[in-house]
Chains A and B, each alone.
Chain A
Amino acid sequence: MANPMKIRAANKDGVTEVKVLISHEMETGQRKDANGAIIPAWFITELSAKHGDKVVLQGEFGTAVSKNPYLAFKFKGGAKGEKVAVSWKDNKGDSRTDEATIA
């Protein structure tokens, strides 16, 4: 099981800004270890964010995204006390969902 994401969500003037720090290795599959063996690729392939039941962001991630990616986005709507959930899937089949309350 992967480490939890850190999520902050804040509503201002009807727009909710969400900031996410994802904890993931994001190995490209191009690097080699000290013995010259290729480190197998391990990266997030899909990411989505939901506000309640509504999907507000969906994205396909790849090897170009850095280790422990930082993601920030805004969407219209959302109110204090409501929940925002972010989930990802990686190429090893692992997935994770974390939730934050809009402040």
Chain B
Amino acid sequence: MKFKKLTAIAVSALVAASPLMANELEFPSISYRTGPFGANGAEVADGFSDYMTLLNERDGGIGGVRINAEECETGFNAEKTVECYEATKDSGALVYTPLSTAATYQLIPRVTADQIPLLSMGYGRTSVSNGDVFPYVFNFPANYWTGASVIVNHLLDINGGSLEGKTIALAFHNSAFGKEPIRTLEALGEIYGFDLTLLPIDSPGQEQKSQWLQVRREKPDYVLLWGWGVMNQVAIQEAANIRFPMENLIGVWWSGSDNDVIPAGDASNGYKAVTFHNVGTDFPVFDDIQQYVVDAGLAAGTGENVGTILYNRGLYQAAILAEAVKVAQARSGVADITAEMMRDGMENLVINDEIMEAVGLKGFGPNFTVSCADHGGPGLGAIQQWDAASQSWSLITDFIEPDMEVIQPLIDADSAAYAAENGIETGRCN
């Protein structure tokens, strides 16, 4: 009797909840607020969540449909990320953003099989920008290879157009993520005449004395930093310790957050990093975030992270995905879209000044378009620099184009190899 009663209550609850669930845009937010990388993960998750909350509170969602961006905590564990994916994929999930290269590699075959889009913005497998081979995976507006190329182009700019005879060391996280730029840098080294020295650093990277002693001995002209979490803080501190010129230490965007430079204090002044979005809070959207989210007590965190580099990245990711939803809604004529419609929206996404101004983010990122064949965008990146006195970043360049004539053949070769290994038929974009 008791069991029947409980069953009846459960069924009633499900029936009552179903209409609500069906009328929400599901954005399962795979996040990590705990564990060794929790400090970084929390900021990205806050930015993502706060922007979605803003859309719900200010606009009533997107196209009149509210957003559900419930978080699933992974502790930056790839296996847990897969568990989160499996637990949420049948909820009507529109898109996944795993914020981990290792997890992205594990999810690529799954999302392809389940036909749910995945966006790895600035991380993951670079060659997924070939939409012909990876129909459900996107990595716009930039990837590791374009990031490496943008840094090299910046170095060309400040060296009078020549890197002949220069030495560049790559201090990288000894993982799939850290190894991503090596091919590109090797190819660019052959073209521009610089020597590349590889300095792998094992995870988590708390101890890097050997690598920085090597830098001190060999005196490379520049050191590129390709790390995440504690590896970055230690690297910047060690570089300062050996008096390596901080302006010659340039990080990828995952090595260029406030968390990376603040522990080293004044010693990190002048440190640079490449980025694919702007810095600070000097954009109208932040006024709305303050009014509708933080002041209303609806912020995902304490509100202190608003405007940090990683918060902005999470927000930018959410803003771009929201625009993709609008495209999907317009193209399908359906407000409560499906994952397949979302993919169509992402494949036809256009980001320009007009669109970004409308959402209070004009100039926040580069203009770009996505297509069936090109899931990666143009790969534009700017260089940001840290000012320890004012505790702030500033962009010191415009958005710079990468060497796509070098990178595109690498993307084509890597994606073709993946297609051959996995028996993927290509040609859908012809």
A binds B: no
